[in-house]
């Protein structure tokens, strides 16, 4: 049985930091916020370790932060969007602190800030060394729960966007905890569904991050931007766990060294900035060392040592839980999918190419990250652009059109999903080529034939086709067969451009 419910307000799909900030910013307009699990669970925001980058100290400025962001983005950042992010960033951090986020403080009451890769100075506001994501998300969840205009529904999963005859998004088809399908009709729908990390076998993100918001927006006709740019965090802990625990960038900021199995540092052979080189450079260096048989390890024994439990409790607990003491042993590391720079194309207010549809956070692509996100700009983007999208959605008018009925996208069986994940890591990973991408595309087509156009397959197809078409190496996208830098052109595509769409 299928039910229909009309909601006169802002319908927010996804309850990571971007969705939570959007819901708060839309007040006093009514908000319906849905989450596929309990609030705070299954969202990448809560897993973030480093913190929030912002120009909060004397000697720093938004313009300096913007310069580092644009440099990391390898020529594909939108300078206007970056200016908004870095200008509004300090106030976003202060706003979260006012909500109760317990940022580390200096003796004079200022924000304690860490140095991370590709920043020219220490500007990452942190919580408990490596606990920023969980602490910030917890504080914002509490604020959402005490806001009367926000209704929260947990255990509700997005199954398809609803559109009218003119292509306007009119809400979404969702599945509740009782496995009932419900059409929620609303004047403004805001997707904050996270990234694509779980499409890969080696990832630092929750298993729920399958690109479903990205895929279902594409299925509704939305323009997708830069899907080929998938960021690999260089120092996931190689402990045989899925997802792979993260060894935060802040460890290298504190002086931890990347070494091979013989204990010899190797990063200076790959980049002048050594351990603090951009993430894509460090990820490829580690991949090269591993493929050579020399191995790769993060040695923090001297830089952190006995202070590990106090300074980096999350990393310490994960390592110790796997039988490794980072105070005594180097940590084996591996590049792992960490963040998606691409997503649903939108402007600085979260407005997408489809009327009635807004996007924020990792599923969105407003142009702030370009080809390679600067460390600790992710929580910042979620807070800044989540709030902006929430405000814009609250202003959205309602033309009172009727949505068309449509079927939910099919689920992908577990065996097919695991096959896809292994193949994505093999052929759409740190180093790519036409041969591997072409093989992967054929395998995705075979999975679609067997299982239908499930959301993970749509998301994977978007990434792989764009990676195949981009015949250059830029930022996080590296083609072994096209290692040179080409023209700085952003990708814009719709699902209708996909060759399989015409036959579907």
The residues carrying an active-site annotation are 279
Residue 240: partners with Cβ closer than 8 Å, 6 or more residues away: 322
- Which tokens hold the place of 496? 């209708």
Cα 237 to Cα 228: distance, rounded to the nearest angstrom: 24
- The residue whose two tokens read 């938004």 is 62
Cα 166 to Cα 142: distance, rounded to the nearest angstrom: 39
- Report helix angle 79-98 to 378-395, nearest 10: 90
Cα 183–Cα 189–Cα 195 angle in degrees, nearest 5: 105
* SS3 assignment, position 318: helix
H helix runs in 375-433, sequence order: 378-395, 414-427
* SS3 assignment, position 196: coil
Residue 124: partners with Cβ closer than 8 Å, 6 or more residues away: 50, 51, 52, 53, 113, 114, 115, 116, 250, 253, 375, 376
Q: What DSSP string runs through 132-146?
A: HHHHHHHHHHHHHHT
Q: Is 478:429 a contact under the CB 8 Å cutoff?
A: no
On the CB side of 96, CA atoms within 13 Å amount to 37
Nearest CA among 214, 413, 236 for reference residue 315 = 236
Cα 393 to Cα 171: distance, rounded to the nearest angstrom: 12
DSSP 246: B
- Enclosing H/E stretch for 189: strand 188-191
């Amino acid at each position: 049985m299928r039910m229909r419910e009309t909601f006169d307000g802002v319908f927010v799909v996804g309850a990571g930091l971007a969705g939570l900030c959007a819901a708060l910013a839309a007040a006093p307009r009514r908000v319906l916020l849905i989450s596929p699990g309990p609030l705070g669970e299954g969202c990448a925001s809560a897993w973030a370790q480093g913190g929030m980058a912002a120009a909060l100290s004397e000697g720093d400025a938004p313009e300096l932060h913007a310069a580092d962001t644009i440099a990391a983005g390898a020529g594909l950042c939108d300078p206007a969007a970056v200016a908004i992010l870095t200008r509004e960033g300090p106030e976003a951090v202060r706003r979260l602190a006012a909500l109760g986020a317990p940022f580390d403080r200096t003796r004079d009451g200022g924000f304690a800030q860490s140095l991370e890769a590709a920043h020219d100075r220490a500007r990452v506001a942190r919580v408990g060394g490596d606990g920023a994501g969980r602490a910030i998300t917890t504080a914002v969840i509490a604020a959402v729960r005490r806001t009367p205009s926000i209704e929260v529904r947990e255990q509700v999963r997005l199954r398809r966007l609803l559109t009218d005859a003119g292509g306007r998004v009119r809400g979404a088809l969702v599945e509740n905890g009782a496995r009932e399908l419900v059409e929620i009709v609303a004047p403004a729908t805001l997707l904050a569904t996270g990234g694509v990390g779980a499409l890969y076998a080696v990832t630092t993100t929750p298993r729920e991050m399958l690109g479903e918001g990205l895929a279902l927006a594409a299925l509704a006709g939305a323009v997708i931007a830069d899907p080929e740019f998938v960021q690999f965090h260089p120092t996931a802990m190689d402990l045989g766990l899925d997802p792979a625990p993260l060894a935060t960038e802040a460890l290298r900021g504190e002086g931890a060294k990347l070494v091979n199995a013989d204990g010899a540092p190797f990063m200076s052979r790959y980049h002048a900035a050594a351990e603090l080189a951009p993430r894509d450079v460090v990820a490829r260096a580690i991949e090269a060392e591993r493929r050579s048989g020399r191995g790769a390890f993060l040695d923090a024994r001297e830089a952190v040592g006995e202070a590990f439990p106090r300074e980096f409790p999350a990393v310490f607990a994960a390592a110790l839980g796997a039988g490794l003491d980072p105070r005594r042993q180097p940590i084996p590391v591996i590049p792992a999918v960490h963040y998606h720079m691409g997503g649903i194309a939108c402007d600085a207010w979260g407005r997408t190419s489809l009327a009635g549809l807004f996007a924020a956070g990792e599923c969105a692509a407003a142009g702030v990250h370009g080809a390679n996100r600067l460390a600790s700009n992710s929580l910042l983007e979620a807070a800044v652009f989540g709030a902006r999208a929430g405000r814009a959605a609250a202003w959205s008018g309602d033309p009172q059109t009727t949505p068309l009925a449509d079927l939910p996208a099919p689920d992908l069986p577990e065996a097919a999903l695991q096959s896809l994940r292994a193949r994505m890591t093999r052929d759409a990973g740190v180093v790519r080529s036409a041969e591997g991408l072409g093989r992967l595309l054929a395998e995705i087509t075979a999975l679609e034939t067997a299982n239908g156009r499930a959301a993970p397959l749509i998301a994977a197809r978007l990434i792989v086709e764009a990676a195949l078409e981009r015949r250059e190496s830029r930022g996080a996208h590296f083609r072994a067969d096209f290692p040179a830098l080409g023209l700085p052109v952003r990708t814009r595509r719709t699902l209708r451009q996909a060759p399989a769409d015409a036959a579907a």
